[in-house]
Amino acid sequence: MLNTMKKMMALFLALMMVLSLGAAAFAAEAGEAETEATETEEDLSAYDKIGGETETARYVKLTNLTGTDIMGLNIRKSGDWQFSDELMADEDLFEKEETSLFYYEPEADEETEETEAEGEEAEPVLWDIQIVWSDWTVGVLYNVELDDLDEADIQRSWNSLPYLTYKSLASEEDVNTEEAEQTAYFSSPEYAAYGGGGSSSSSGSSSSGGSSSGGDWSYGGDSGCIDNGLLW
């Protein structure tokens, strides 16, 4: 009888040890997960935010490698005429070498939704992003597939056209849009309106030191003439 009780007590103690070890392991895993989540929040809180942060918005981590501070950003769906209202507050600056979180609302055409419903591959949604630098020059990133990137560098070519470098989420290949941006600019409504016959630079200035046009693709008041005569 005594031996039986000793065996039962030993089994009970062994069971308690197993349960204690399991609880400790679970607590450690939960603590690690909580720490990782906290670190992610802390990392994101260190970045300035551009655009509206909503439940449906998606963000892209953008780094300004253009060599000049950016004071204005607007977005439109490629093919549209008007840009959105200003996405940056009046006194905010997206400084050179700075990384910010650029928020946008993912959008799908009715045709895209119908195509996906039929089981076919949908065409990607493309965006144009207007950039206004602190020296009042203006440029546009054309046909950007924002859904295909998590982070990107904004750079500036020899003739002041902005372009992106990033790693594609779909192909996992490095992408440089400089050549595509050069081609897109010469077929853009901006070039047709102001650049036809001028230089290939997308820069421009506002002689009145104006502000965003509130949705129109132009920026500021009366345009000045800079960069080999291109008016913008």
pLDDT at 189: 81
Is the separation of the CB atoms in 136 and 209 below 8 Å? Answer: yes
Q: Is the pTM of the predicted complex or chain greater than 0.75?
A: no
In the chain, what are the domain boundaries? Answer: 60-231
CATH number of the domain located at residue range(s) 60-231 in this protein: 2.60.40.2890
Q: What is residue 102's three-state secondary structure?
A: strand
| 15 membership: H or E segment, kind and range | helix 2-45
Q: What is residue 220's three-state secondary structure?
A: coil
143 in the Ramachandran plot: left (φ > 0), alpha (ψ -120 to 50) or beta?
A: left
Mean pLDDT of 70-76: 96
What single letter denotes the amino acid at residue 78?
Answer: S
Q: Is the pLDDT of residue 175 over 60?
A: yes
Strands 174-176 and 162-167: antiparallel
pLDDT at 221: 32
How is 191-208 classified by DSSP, letter by letter?
IIIIITTS-S-----BTT
Q: Is the pLDDT of residue 169 over 80?
A: yes
Exposed/middle/buried for 29, CB within 10 Å: 0-12, 13-18, 19+? exposed
Measure the CA–CA gap between 117 and 96, rounded to whole angstroms: 43
Nearest to 140 by CA among 92, 187, 91: 187
Q: Which range in 36-50, 64-78, 97-111 is most confidently predicted, on average pLDDT?
A: 64-78
pLDDT, tens digit (0-9, with 9 covering 90-100), for 12-56:
666 677 666 666 666 556 666 565 555 455 568 889 999 999 999
Q: Which of 61-70, 74-83, 200-209 has the lowest mean pLDDT?
A: 200-209
pLDDT at 75: 96
Report the chain's mean pLDDT, rounded to a whole number: 76
Q: What is the largest CA-CA distance in the chain?
A: 106
For the sheet with 48-50, list strands across it.
Answer: 48-50, 99-104, 58-64, 151-156, 162-167, 174-176
Is the separation of the CB atoms in 86 and 44 below 8 Å? Answer: no
Measure the CA–CA gap between 134 and 137, rounded to whole angstroms: 7
Q: Is the pLDDT of residue 67 over 90?
A: yes
Mean pLDDT of 171-175: 97
